[in-house]
């Protein structure tokens, strides 16, 4: 879908902006197809993932060389790891030896500015398969699965796990297909979308804004977020009872900030998800977004060129019992002459 949206109204050399970059899919598709890209997010994990995708080592050999150097530095930092200062909710996911080694590697990555390797570490941080570092747990939203995998029946799943061989295996998986060579300019910003820098000559803003607080990005990524800075960020999510008003306020500030920078004939493409949590009633955020573009003075130059609504299949859901967003809408607006 991201590739199709990038191809819809842009060409090689065009500038694409994504102020809610998430895991960097739109940004990656943009630079891989020869577009210039500026992406951003307030979430440190989203920024780290996107930078890792847009600025990877050129080859597996280069990545392995950087891993050896960073690992050697991390061994010097093992004695600095005082697990008593680590919150209990983090410690309970790991064998002490595994946790100490992972934290030392994290510190070495930060000292060497190795965002790609740190992203690889976070990618194997928790799960229940043999290649991961934690005790048996979920993959996306971290919670322990001790009932399904009791220690008495699965003692091997609670033993210390060697970090280095698992990192090497992660690198091999990441380079199973060589990354494309990126020649166009690309930037990844750590910023609140409401304060996104103003750019000119944007051919397309392609983004997927928060689904009216349908997801709690801090809670759902709390383990990886803690590893990045050894603390959890203060949330910029829509923490309010009136989620509809908060969503509309967010969209108004972001869209009116970026809209003027889009070239005549350029596009504002939004992927918005229905909201269902809380009152049990589905709220079509696409209707709220359409109303915003029709009534906001700074957005009236945009005309809805196409829209597509589809259900979200259960296989794409990260939450248990298939709760949450059940449908999403793609809105494609084109900037026309006043």
159 and 255 together in one domain? no
For the chain, the domain total comes to 2
Last residue of a domain, one of 139, 174, 209: 174
Residue 305 forms part of a structural domain: yes
162 and 216 together in one domain? no
The pLDDT score that the predictor gives to residue 322 is 45
Domain that holds residue 87: 60-174
Determine contact, residues 2/24, Cβ cutoff 8 Å: no
The pLDDT score that the predictor gives to residue 141 is 87
Residue 266 forms part of a structural domain: yes
195 and 290 together in one domain? yes
239 and 301 together in one domain? yes
68 and 96 together in one domain? yes
Instruction: Return the residue matching tokens 């060697």.
Output: 162
pLDDT along the chain (338 residues), means of 10: 92 96 94 96 95 94 98 97 96 98 98 97 92 92 93 95 97 89 90 95 94 72 93 65 80 95 97 70 79 92 92 57 67 91
Residue 229 forms part of a structural domain: no
Strand order across the 202-207 sheet: 186-190, 36-41, 15-18, 202-207, 262-273, 327-335, 302-311
Residue 160 forms part of a structural domain: yes
68 and 108 together in one domain? yes
Residue 330 forms part of a structural domain: yes
299 and 169 together in one domain? no
149 and 76 together in one domain? yes
Residue 152 forms part of a structural domain: yes
312 and 205 together in one domain? yes
Q: In Å, how far are 59, 94, 176 from 169, measured between CA atoms?
A: 15, 19, 11
102 and 245 together in one domain? no
Residue 319 forms part of a structural domain: yes
Determine contact, residues 214/220, Cβ cutoff 8 Å: no
Q: Domain containing 279 — which CATH number?
A: 3.40.50.150
For 40-77, give one letter per residue: b (16+ CB within 10 A) or e.
bbbbbbbbbbbbbbbebbeeeeebbebbeebbebbeeb
Last residue of a domain, one of 153, 174, 195: 174
The pLDDT score that the predictor gives to residue 316 is 53
Instruction: Give the alpha-carbon dihedral of 193, 42, 209, 317, to 10 degrees.
Output: 180
Residue 225 forms part of a structural domain: no
102 and 200 together in one domain? no
34 and 92 together in one domain? no
């Amino acid at each position: 879908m991201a590739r199709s949206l990038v191809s819809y109204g842009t060409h090689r050399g065009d500038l694409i902006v994504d102020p809610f970059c998430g895991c960097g899919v739109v940004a990656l598709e943009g630079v891989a197809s020869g577009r210039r890209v500026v992406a951003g997010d307030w979430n440190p994990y989203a920024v780290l993932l996107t930078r890792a995708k847009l600025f990877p080592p050129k080859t597996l050999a280069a990545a392995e060389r950087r891993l050896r150097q960073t690992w050697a530095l991390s061994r010097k930092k093992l004695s600095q790891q005082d697990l008593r200062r680590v919150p209990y909710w983090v410690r309970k996911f790991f064998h002490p030896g595994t946790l100490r080694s992972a934290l030392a590697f994290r510190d070495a990555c930060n000292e060497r500015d190795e965002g790609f390797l740190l992203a690889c570490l976070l990618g194997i941080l928790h799960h229940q398969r043999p290649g991961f570092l934690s005790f048996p747990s979920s993959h996306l939203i971290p919670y322990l699965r001790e009932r399904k995998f009791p220690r008495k029946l699965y003692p091997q799943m609670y033993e210390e796990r060697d970090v280095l061989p698992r990192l090497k295996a992660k690198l091999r998986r990441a380079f199973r297909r060589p990354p494309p060579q990126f020649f166009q300019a690309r930037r990844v910003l750590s910023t609140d979308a409401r304060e996104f820098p103003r750019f000119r000559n944007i051919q397309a803003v392609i983004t997927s804004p928060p689904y009216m607080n349908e997801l709690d990005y801090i809670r759902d990524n709390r383990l990886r977020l803690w590893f990045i800075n050894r603390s959890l960020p203060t949330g910029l999510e829509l923490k309010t009872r009136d989620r509809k008003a908060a969503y509309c306020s967010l969209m108004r500030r972001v869209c009116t900030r970026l809209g003027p920078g889009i070239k005549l004939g350029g596009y504002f493409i939004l992927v918005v998800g229905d909201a269902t949590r809380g009152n049990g009633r589905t709220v079509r955020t696409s209707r709220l977004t359409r109303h915003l573009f029709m009534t906001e003075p700074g957005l009236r130059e945009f005309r809805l060129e196409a829209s597509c609504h589809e259900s979200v299949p259960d296989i794409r859901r990260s939450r248990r019992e298939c709760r949450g967003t059940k449908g999403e809408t793609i809105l494609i607006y084109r900037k026309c002459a006043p």
